[in-house]
Structure 1
Amino acid sequence: MQADEPLCPKALLSGYTVDGSFQQYCIAKAAHVARIPKEVSLDGVAPVLCAGITVYKGLKESGARPGETVAIVGAGGGLGSLAQQYAKAMGLNVIAIDTGEDKRKMCLEQLGASAYVDFAKSSNVVEDVRNATEDKTGPHAVLLLAVTEKPFQQAAEYVRPRGSVIAIGMPAGAYLRAPVFGTVVKMISIKGSYVGNRKDTAEAIEFYRRGLINAPFKVAGLSELQSVFDKMERGEIAGRYVLDTSR
């Protein structure tokens, strides 16, 4: 239950190492399937089974404790909105980092972030993030959900001493860079976080069952899959799409 099965060097992953991910039925080992409580709706919990588990695992890997502050880069996106909810449910304060007034409103008014830093309008993101913490020394942890490289270079500069930087997003061709001197003298931890194991999955689902997580979604039939991909390419999807394989 607490193993690192996601790190198997010869993992068989539907839609990635093995063709086929959208079908009505699949075969799986009983020991590895997620147990979903009877009272939980299958369509509602679906976004948690990948995006939710991924960000929940990242928060656990960060080592942040209740009452501490975590900065979430890409806070207004699908992963980010779930990360904020899990962070709040875990007793953490959230600094949301993203751009746009709609995302600002969502993060502050709907998701309960204590501060919002608009990276496109900020003249100094590093200082703004530090100043958003109570003692001005930066957040205890940073979750990087961004799809561009630059935020990965900034995080080590504003995280506080002994803080942790958790890379979750995977921008194509991007690299993590951090000043060696600052990383050493501040004793910063920089690490990657992949999807969770079976225990993480059970815990993430339990947060949802208790009503602490809300992932906006729309349901589409399997026959509509191509149109969903078309909308995705045009950037027209808000929240998540759940496929009903019976349609």
Structure 2
Amino acid sequence: MSTLSGFTVPKTQTACVVPAIGKEIEVRKEHPVKQASELKPGECLVKISHTGVCHTDLHAKQGDWPVKPMNPLIGGHEGVGIIVAIGENTENSPVKLGDRVGIKWMADSCLNCEFCRRGFEMNCPHVKLSGYTVDGTFSEYVVSFTNHVTPIPDELDSAGAASILCAGVTTYKGLKVSNTKVGDWIALPGAGGGLGHLAVQYAKAMGLKVIAIDTGDAKEKLVKSLGADAWVDFKTSKDIVADVKAATGGAGPHAALVTAAHQSGYTQAIQYLREGGTLVCIGMPDADIGVNGFWTVFKSIRVQGSYVGTRQDAIEALDIARAGKVKVIFEQKGLADLKDVYEDLEAGKIAGRIVLEVSKEENTGGRLGGKQVN
């Protein structure tokens, strides 16, 4: 076994546990910590400093997706922390003790199957999912995997970097597969939300022109400050499809990236996309998305599912943030506030991202990772 010099792994920790599907979170202050001697080859123990909260975590708690989570479960998949132990007989580890790393939705994959070799690691039949099929980051310590944790650039602060590990890489990957090029128009339904506000920034960093679709003065101000070229308020617009097309000069956008888990975002996109356009599906309603077959064929529309991202996608997403082109807008709370955050998520009261400070860190890195809002 290998443990960070001068560090003693505690026997217990504070962890937020969902005991069974649909049950309330329990904040357990004496939850066991896996010791260094218990780590398998390839496993590492990470002391978490910050973790983001995602709507997926709410689905994990409720168990309302077709793929069910394990239980009891520690949720969370946007964690940043320090590696304090690595399993014995771990060979050729790409990370070392003391490294600051990120833990993503995709916790581990075999790296050897056809899907992994072709860049579809997230579809590996042996994939492990943080905060879903293995315990996640709503705890002081988490066991992860040396081949899949992501090094965090020194220039990024931990709190701001946390949401890049899910919301950031997910929107960035969606843009990568959107079949767009510099100067193309892309529509972003839900542009003022947690994923959407990052999609605006990544799209601008990639040279795209952005039509932001959302509602409210605050969100309009936000997306325009982030570089959106056009704004459509879905509540005040009398004809969303017409307004989106008008913003592009009449033909419609080259692509739409739908992050909202609602059918209307998909049905409208098929109507306003220009011929040969691409519909990128990221939001995951467990229902028919209502894509009209006639117009999809007649307009030569490409429908593209995009599911999180690979290890390389995460590195690229963080590099763009390191360059100062993307900042996460977030509100910071404590781990003990997670129960209240879940209640607000269920009530639809949260806009943007929530990041939990799990423990204090000695070195918080630089200041380019995000912007905290109070």
TM over 0.5: yes
Specify the alignment match of 2:303 in structure 1.
190
Segments of 5+ residues of structure 2 without an aligned counterpart are: 1-116, 361-374
* 1:50-109 deviations in Å (ceiling 9; x for gaps): 10000000000102111111000111111111100100111100001112222222222x
Partners of 1:160 and 1:227 in 2: CA distance: 43
Q: CA deviation at 1:121?
A: 1.9
Counterpart of 1:32 in 2: which secondary structure? Answer: coil
Deviates more, 1:168-177 or 1:143-152: 168-177
Partners of 2:337 and 2:197 in 1: CA distance: 26
Give the TM-score normalised by structure 1. Answer: 0.91
Q: In the alignment, does 2:121 pair up with 1:8?
A: no
* 1:201-229 deviations in Å (ceiling 9; x for gaps): 00000011011111112322222322322
Match of 2:242 among 120, 123, 127: 127
Match of 2:134 among 18, 25, 31: 18
Q: CA deviation at 1:230?
A: 2.9
Match of 1:175 among 262, 280, 289: 289
Partners of 2:333 and 2:190 in 1: CA distance: 26
Match of 1:137 among 244, 251, 272: 251
**Which amino acid in structure 1 is aligned with residue 315 of structure 2?**
A
Q: CA deviation at 1:191?
A: 1.5
Q: CA deviation at 1:177?
A: 1.7
RMSD (Å), alpha carbons = 1.9
Specify the alignment match of 2:181 in structure 1.
65
Contact 1:2 1:197 in 2 (8 A): no
Segments of 5+ residues of structure 1 without an aligned counterpart are: none
* 1:20-57 deviations in Å (ceiling 9; x for gaps): 54122222221211111123211111111110000000
Report which of the two has the higher share of strand: 2
Q: In the alignment, does 2:237 pair up with 1:158?
A: no
Specify the alignment match of 1:237 in structure 2.
350
Partners of 2:209 and 2:247 in 1: CA distance: 11
Report which of the two has the higher share of helix: 1
- The number of equivalent residue pairs is 244
**Which amino acid in structure 2 is aligned with residue 126 of structure 1?**
V
Taking structure 1 as reference, are residues 83 and 196 closer, same or farther at Cα in structure 2, changes over 3 Å only? same
Partners of 1:239 and 1:121 in 2: CA distance: 21
Deviates more, 1:90-99 or 1:1-10: 1-10
Report the identity percentage.
Answer: 48
Q: In the alignment, does 2:152 pair up with 1:36?
A: yes
Match of 1:48 among 131, 156, 164: 164
